Chains A and B, each alone.
With several copies, the nearest count.
Chain A
Amino acid sequence: MSETAAEPKMAITVDFSGGLEMLFSNQRRHALSIPAHDKDGKPSNIAFLISHLCKTLMKDPRTDLFVLDDHIRPGILVLINDADWELEGEEAYEIQPGDNILFVSTLHGG
C-alpha cells in the first residue's frame, strides 16, 4: 500500500503513426501506465514521457529516428488528445490520466 502511494502511476494511451510504429514493436496503440511524477517529484510532462518511451518501450536501437539531442526529432508531430502540442504547451504540458499522446511522422511521398 505504501509502496503504491510512493510511486503513483497514471494510465495513458500512446499512439504511433506515419511509420513510427515500426520503431515500437510495429504496434500502433500502447496502453501504458507511466509514473505520475518524474524523479524530481514534478508532474510528468511530455519531455519526461519521450525519454520514458525511449527507455522502456522502444526496442529498436535506432533511437535517433525518434529523439535527437534529447528532443523529439524534426519531422515528428506530437498531438495531445488530437491537438498539436503547440496548442497545449509542447514539452512542458503536464500529462493527465487518460490522455492520448500521438506521435506522427511527417510524410513527403506522393
Chain B
Amino acid sequence: MTADTGAASAAPMKSNDRRLTYEEFERYSRQMIVPGMGKHGQLRLINSRILIIGAGGLGCPAAQYIAGAGVGTIGIVDGDTVEISNLHRQVGHATSRLGWKKVDSLIAHLKDINPLPNYIPHPFHLDPQNAADIITQYDLVMDCTDNPATRYLISDVCVLLRKPLVSAASVQKSGQLIVLNCPPAPQGLVDKKYPPCYRCCFKKPPPPSSMVSCGEAGIMGPVVGMMGVAQAGEAIKIIASALHLPPSSTNDLTAPIPERNLQQPTLLIYTYDLESAVGPYSFRALRMAGRRKNCFACGENSTLTLEGIKTGNPNYVTFCSPPTTDHAL
C-alpha cells in the first residue's frame, strides 16, 4: 500500500502541478494531447485511486484501459480463481494462469501493460463486513460484479462514503451502463437535482426465479467487453475532468456542486443481435430520474449507516434471495 492509501476520502489534489517524469510523458503523450486532457488531466489520473470490484468479463477490459491510462492506484476485488470457461471473454487472464486467484492473474497482466501504477489486490469477495474498509481507500468505484446483492451493497457504501460509482452489467446479448452518485452528495439531501444511487434507479431486485447469471444464461465476449471498456471511459473522464469534485479552489466536499456536473442521469443499454449488423437500436440512452426523495439509501429519511451494514442491516441476502448461482464468473 502507498503512503496515502490510509488517507481515506481526502481529495487527491495535492501534487497536481508537479512535472511528469520522462517515462510518464512518453507513455501518456498520446492521450495528453487530446483536447481537454492535457497535463492537468493526466496528473489527476496519476494521483487518483480507482477500485475495480470484479475481475471477470467487465473487470478485465475495464482494468486494461484504467491501467493503460495511468491511474496511480488501482485496487481489484475478487475471490474467484481463473477457469478455462472464463477465457473467451475475460481477456486479462490466460491459459498459463488457470487456477490463479483472478486478482493476481489480472494484476500480473496489468503490470506488463503499465508497471507505473500501484496495484492493490483484494483477493476475496466484497461483503458487508469488509466493504466500507476497502471502498474508503479509493476515489471512485467500478462495479464489475455479477450478482444483485453485491450491487446493492456497493451502492449503499458508495452513498455513505460519497464515492462516485460507474456501474455496468451484461448477460447473453445485452449490456447496461450507468454513472451513479456522481458527483456524490450527502445522504438525505434531496432539495436539488442530485444524482441517483443504484437503489434510486433499481428499487427492487428481480425475484430469484427471473434472474440469470452469465454461467447459466451465457454471454457473448464482445458484449460484456464493450460494457467494460465503456466503464473505463466513464471512470477516466470523471477523474481527469474532476466531475466528482467541488470546484478545484476548495476541497470542501459539502461545497455546492457546479452546474456542469449535474447532468441528466443516463442508462445506456446495448443490444447485440446475432442475426443483423449494428443498427439504430443497438445503443439506447435512457433518461433516468435523479435522486429519489424516499430512497432507502440516499433519500430524505434514510436510516442506512455503515455500522448498520456491518452488523447485518439491511440483509442483502434476504433482500435479493439470490439463486444458487455459478459464482465463478
Contact = CB atoms under 8 A, between A and B. Distances in A.
Answer yes or no: A and B touching, Cβ < 8 Å. yes
Interface of A: 15, 17-19, 22, 26, 28-29, 64-65, 68, 73-77, 79, 82-84, 86-87, 102, 104-110
B287 A83 contact: yes
B214 interface: yes
B206 A73 contact: yes
B224 A110 contact: yes
Contacts of A84: 201, 267, 286-289
Given A17-B269, A108-B213, A109-B217, A75 B54 contact: no
A110 B287 contact: no
B176 A74 contact: no
Interface in B85-124: none
Contacts of B8: none
Nearest to B151: A108
A106 B224 contact: no
Interface of B: 35, 54, 56-59, 144-148, 151, 168-172, 174-176, 201-207, 209-214, 217, 219, 224, 267, 269, 271, 280-281, 284-289, 292, 329
A110 B171 CA distance: 7
B292 to A, nearest CB: 8
A18 B271 CA distance: 7
Contact of A19 (B57, B174, B281, B289): B174
Contact of B145 (A22, A74, A87, A110): A110
A82 B281 contact: no
B175 A107 contact: yes
A60 to B, nearest CB: 12
B172 A75 contact: no
Contact of A109 (B35, B205, B207, B213): B213
Contact of B203 (A29, A74, A79): A74
23 contacts: A17-B271, A18-B176, A19-B217, A26-B35, A29-B281, A74-B204, A75-B205, A75-B207, A82-B285, A84-B288, A84-B289, A86-B289, A87-B289, A102-B286, A105-B174, A106-B205, A107-B176, A108-B146, A109-B171, A109-B219, A109-B224, A110-B58, A110-B145
Contacts of A83: 286-287
Contacts of B203: 74
Contacts of A64: 207, 209-210
A105 B210 CA distance: 10
Contact of A108 (B171, B204, B224, B271): B171
Contact of B286 (A26, A76, A79): A79
A77 B205 CA distance: 11
Contacts of B147: 108
A73 B205 CA distance: 10
Given A28-B281, A29-B281, A110 B169 contact: yes
A16 to B, nearest CB: 10
A68 B207 contact: yes
Contact of B269 (A65, A86, A104): A104
B56 to A, nearest CB: 6
B264 to A, nearest CB: 10
Given A75-B206, A82-B287, A110 B144 contact: yes
B245 to A, nearest CB: 23
